[in-house]
Chains A and B, each alone.
Chain A
Amino acid sequence: MTDLLQLPLLLSLTLGERLALMGVVLFVLLTSVAYTVYAERKIAAAIQNRIGPNRVGFDLIPQLGFLKGLAGLGQPIADVLKLLFKEDVVPSASNGFYHLLAPMISLFAALTTIAVVPVAAGLVIADVDIGVLYILAITSLGVYGLTLAGWASNSKYSLLGGLRSSAQMISYEIAMGLSVVSVVVIADSLSMTKIVESQTANPLYWNCFRNFLGFICFVVASFAECNRAPFDLPEAEQELVGGYNTEYGSMKFALFFLAEYANMIVASTVIATLFLGGYQVPFWSDAPWWLQVGAFVTKTLFMMFVFIWVRWTIPRFKYNQLMDLGWRKLLPLALFNLLLIAMGVLIFEA
């Protein structure tokens, strides 16, 4: 319990304090989502040899005047404000209730996943015993949001986008589940904290090396689960206009947008936890908690950079190629990897 003593914050919290803390966590998460959008635009600009957002600063606040127009850092705030001020158009042919419910489902599915990811030893919102199962369950709930949005809008583009995204997400979920099973075989537990501990502080024991095929499968599948390029068919703007969010604007669109980027952040944290050693600091098994947080954030940021990098580098798949990759390549590969890992564990540990 020594690491708990270093975290006096979490020892005994009243309900109110706990709620406030969660509010802070959510606020930080949503702000970082907004700045992920900014980072994506900047990185995309760098990749395509452009400048990217560079106008909006903090001109209105005199104390922050020195940030005037600095690298466009005010852009995310301006974007959020713009969406807040937009009129909410609900097409008369759509189903109003489900039209409102769909973006909420996708955002909540994205946000609640983060609750079980350990940020440092003992520093986790909810240390659920079956964290891995919980994550798989909640992320697959996100499908409902997209499908419902596609159906409720009563638009052909939305319907096609929603159908595509649901077919895509369920196709890749099996490969994802199988690669997670291989991680569980190594770690012997479904708890996220125990999975991180099983990877130890030696980077060679991290699952991205011990379980390389599983790592590849999981990363590819999570690209597909997040509807990110090269798997962004549900919102392929050249053919489907906006996909499932064609009929969305204002706050509802903001929720979808937040959900999409929150999904990316959450997927990065999950990859960091399951495969990159989570909060483990290389070669220092009992590092102070703030260093562990630092290690975790660094790994997450690295994965997020990979997400953005891949999006702006690789062209989009055709739909049949996407289904082929999911069912005929990733799924057999994940099955094979599971057997490989099981045999490896028997040989090396029994």
Chain B
Amino acid sequence: MGQEISEFGKVFLFLAVGVIFVVLGFVTSRLIRPHRPYTEKLTTYECGEEPKGSAWVQFNIRFYVVALIFIIFDVEVLFLYPWATIFKQVGGYALAVALVFLGVLTLGLIYEWKKGYINWVVPTPNIPKMPTKKFEKPKSLEKPKVAEPETTA
């Protein structure tokens, strides 16, 4: 038992204790809580209306764009950590390198800015114009004109 546990081992142990806590909570709750489901209770909440369709739908592409930009920037930030730990030893040269690196990062940011990817509200949506033909009502749908009652003076 005198064996040393590595630091990440301790983290893992801590996580394990956390899991035990949560599982105990769930088991206790399971034992004492009621369980009386019925169809209406198990419907999805939609302000009391009948739920319309599933929520597993395609959503706005903007969320993907934000996620993609995040990945690019996050990896770049990650590259800065090793640089930061040896910054004091290397000194001026490290600063020059960082200037170039951060310069590229800033360029990327400016590019995304100008392209409007980090602009959540697009002021004028660019919807391509479709050739539109004036819609004419078929004759058959038109109501027969009711002759206005003639007013005779």
Judge whether B46 is part of the interface by a CB distance below 8 angstroms. Answer: yes
Distance in angstroms between the alpha carbons of A134 and B21 in the assembled complex: 23
Does the CB pair B11–A115 fall under 8 Å?
yes
Q: How many residues of chain A are within 8 Å of chain B by beta carbon?
A: 86
Interface string of B9-23 (1 = CB under 8 A from A): 111011111111110
A15 touches B1 (CB 8 A): yes
1/0 contact string of A139-178 vs chain B (CB within 8 Å):
0000000000001011111110001001100110110011
**A 264-302 binary contact with B (CB < 8 Å = 1; else 0):** 000000000000000000000000000000000000000
Q: What is the CA–CA distance of A181 and B84 in the complex, to the nearest angstrom? A: 6
Taking CB atoms, residues of chain A closer than 8 Å to B36 are 87
Contact B7 A184 (CB under 8 A): no
Contact assessment for A125 and B10 in the assembled complex, using a CB-CB cutoff below 8 Å: yes
Q: How far is the CA of A108 from the CA of B16 in the complex (A)?
A: 10
Chain A residues with Cβ below 8 Å from B135 are none
Are A87 and B34 interface neighbours, CB within 8 A?
A: yes
Please tell me if A190 contacts chain B, counting CB pairs below 8 Å. Answer: yes
**Cβ-neighbour of B11 out of A112, A166, A323 (below 8 A):** A112
A26 near B17 (CB under 8 angstroms)? yes
CA distance A84 to B34 in the complex (A): 10
Name B36's closest neighbour in chain A (CB-CB). A87
Rank and list the top 7 A-B pairs by shortest CB-CB distance, nearest first: A126-B10, A184-B84, A320-B120, A327-B118, A170-B70, A177-B77, A92-B42
How many angstroms between the C-alpha atoms of A184 and B5 in the bound complex? 27
Q: How far is the CB of B51 from chain A (nearest CB, A)?
A: 7
Interface range on chain B (Cβ under 8 Å from partner)? 35 or more
Number of A-B contacts (CB under 8 A): 205
B15, B46, B113: which contacts A108 (Cβ < 8 A)? Answer: B15
List residues of B whose CB falls within 8 A of some A CB. 1-2, 5, 7-11, 13-22, 25-26, 28-29, 32-37, 39, 41-47, 51, 54-56, 59-60, 63, 66-67, 70, 73-74, 77-78, 80-81, 84-85, 87-88, 91-92, 94-95, 98-99, 102, 105-106, 109, 113, 118-121
Closest beta carbon of chain B to A330's beta carbon, Å: 12
Chain A residues near B44: list those with CB within 8 A.
Answer: 91, 93-94, 153-155, 247
Asked if A338 meets B34 with Cβ closer than 8 Å, knowing A174-B73, A184-B84, the reply is no
State in angstroms the CA–CA spacing of A206 and B32 once bound together.
Answer: 50
Instruction: List 16 A–B pairs whose Cβ atoms lie within 8 Å, in order of A's numbering.
Output: A22-B17, A85-B29, A91-B45, A108-B15, A128-B8, A132-B81, A153-B55, A163-B63, A170-B67, A174-B73, A174-B74, A177-B77, A185-B84, A324-B119, A339-B98, A342-B95
B60 to chain A, nearest CB (A): 8
Per-position binary interface string of chain A over residues 93-117, scored 1 when its CB falls under 8 Å from any chain B CB and 0 otherwise: 1100000000010011001100110
With both beta carbons as reference points, the residue of chain A lying nearest to B34 in the complex is identified as: A87
B41 partner residues in chain A, CB cutoff 8 A: 89
